[in-house]
Structure 1
């Protein structure tokens, strides 16, 4: 829904003159964007704050700006609370925003629960079909589309690296079983671990405050950690890093930002890239070039092994020469 400028009040006599010459003014959307374009009102809903989601949001804004879209953003963080999440989405609908940018699976689900009319563009979603956001990634239908945060080969590549390069069979996995995004990943991770003769040792949490205790509960039971892109756990990643460092347990993660924060390694991509692609999609929708449901859901495009040298030292991991040929290193 667009915001419209108030019509001018004119006198009855002037109205008669305008009517006689057929020159009435039409209401127009508020101007002020690039090249005299419109200024759009975009509601931004994000489940929690952490670097990956924040970078996706920055990428989204960059994609819109480069497409020539001028927007006012109303950013709301749910602080991991599903009730807050739904209230935020409902308020955006009441405010009549032009588009909702949903940054995470819970955020996108709440937005879709709130409206079937306002366009929704999501990112940082792992499995939009299982989450009930779209019927099909090629033909989403309805009022929603976006970009996913799981490269088709990311889990398989990371797990193969774990199996080929490290001793030990038991892999500690911590995730929020209340997030569909995380349940889908946990199932995928367990299958790939089993295929590589590794065993998943799972612990579930419901809030970020439980993450450290969950990590500590795995001491003596696992040979390494694998923390995928679970919003609850990633928002408290430092708790797992501390345990991994203290116990010399390799910590594999689901994306590059978590490597930069202190995870040992991941086959990952940049979250600002998937946010940027979501921004370009939003621009097409706002310009009227496409309906949301006509735009295919897009996966990340680039995947690379990233290793944190400082984390390797903290976890007592020796960097192998063969890794140097393939990996990108951060400190």
Structure 2
């Protein structure tokens, strides 16, 4: 009997310890939740409520987001920023846009064309600032790029396409056939592809469009280019940017096909080179516009902003150049 009594006591004590530990864990979670609430309550009631909808996560759009926030911080405006990402899904972008509008934000930033279209379609009252959109007027977001005329303005990520094709000819003088890779779901990518086709024609080169409708098609489409193109040109396309490592692995690493990108993140992820814009600076332009709007100016009176050409940068992936046996020492865009 005594042995059974001792076992029962030990079991009771063990259960008590477990229950106590469980309660402590619950208490710890509650403390963390309260800590977050306290942190958010540090923003005063007078802070401007800003919603941010980024279409998908990749380095270029991340930089634009950072530049926007930096401009607000430099201006000293107190803001309560809600960051949202649609994960590259248009339906998610629409849902988030509606939520930000229903939350009655003082201003909404939309990063990339699909996000911009979702937000612009959700409100005609709340000021909307867009960024990383190549041609806002052609995308139906504003009446004109010089005079937006409504509740939408922002900054364009139009790149110097002709200069990028010029760079291609300098780095790859033997190239004759160039594949232009982009996603058909993005209207601004189509615009850049047309610009690239014109620039290639002026150089006496042949351009061929290779398109995907989603990221699932990237591998198959890039593989179909092997043996048909001497180089690949990639515009500022969100789907291709997110899958750039795959493009580079198949084209360059496996088949020695060089890629000329439209911005630095392309080069960081395996493209040979670019002469492109700085997305942090593009986002910062949008942030500066947001400051004007939060201080009382109407978006209708703020023209679409473009990064000056002297802010464009030559970026070369020297490891890729070495792998391809390309001498970059004399390359300049001056």
Shorter-chain-normalised TM-score: which range?
A: 0.7 to 0.9
Q: Which residue matches 1:295?
A: 302
Q: Secondary structure at the match of 1:321?
A: coil
Q: Return closer, same or farther for 1:317/1:140 CA change in 2, 3 Å cut-off.
A: farther
Question: Is 1:253 paired with 2:281?
Answer: no
1:161 is aligned to 2:170 = no
How far apart are the structure 2 equivalents of 1:238 and 1:318?
Answer: 20
**Cα offset, 1:137, TM superposition:** 1.5
Residues 79-94 of structure 1 mapped to structure 2, 5 A cutoff = 79-94=87-102
CA RMSD of aligned residues (A): 1.8
Say if 1:253 and 1:259, in contact at 8 Å, map to a contact too.
yes
- Give unpaired runs (5+ residues) of structure 2: 1-40
Give the TM-score normalised by the residue count of structure 2.
0.83
Q: Is the 8 A contact 2:235 2:261 kept in 1?
A: yes
Choose the corresponding residue for 2:195, options 188, 192, 199.
188
Q: Secondary structure at the match of 1:322?
A: coil
Unaligned runs of 5+ in 1: 1-30
Post-superposition, which runs of at least 4 consecutive aligned residues in structure 1 deviate over 3 A?
A: none
Aligned to 1:312: 321
Shift of 1:253: 0.3
1:273–1:300 Cα contact (<8 Å) kept: yes
Q: Which structure dedicates a bigger proportion of its chain to helix?
A: 2
Instruction: Map residues 130-169 of structure 1 onto 2, 5 A cutoff.
Output: 130-151=138-159, 154-166=160-172, 167-169=174-176
Instruction: Indicate the structure (1 or 2) with the bigger Cα radius of gyration.
Output: 2
Change (3 A) 1:326 1:194: closer
Q: Distance in 2 between matches of 1:158 and 1:200?
A: 14
Gap change, CA 1:196 and 1:40, over 3 Å in 2: same
1:42 aligns with 2:46: no
CA contact (8 A) 1:257 1:270 kept: no
Give me the whole-angstrom Cα distance separating, in 1, the residues matched to 2:45 and 2:93. 31
Number of residue pairs the alignment of both structures matches: 290
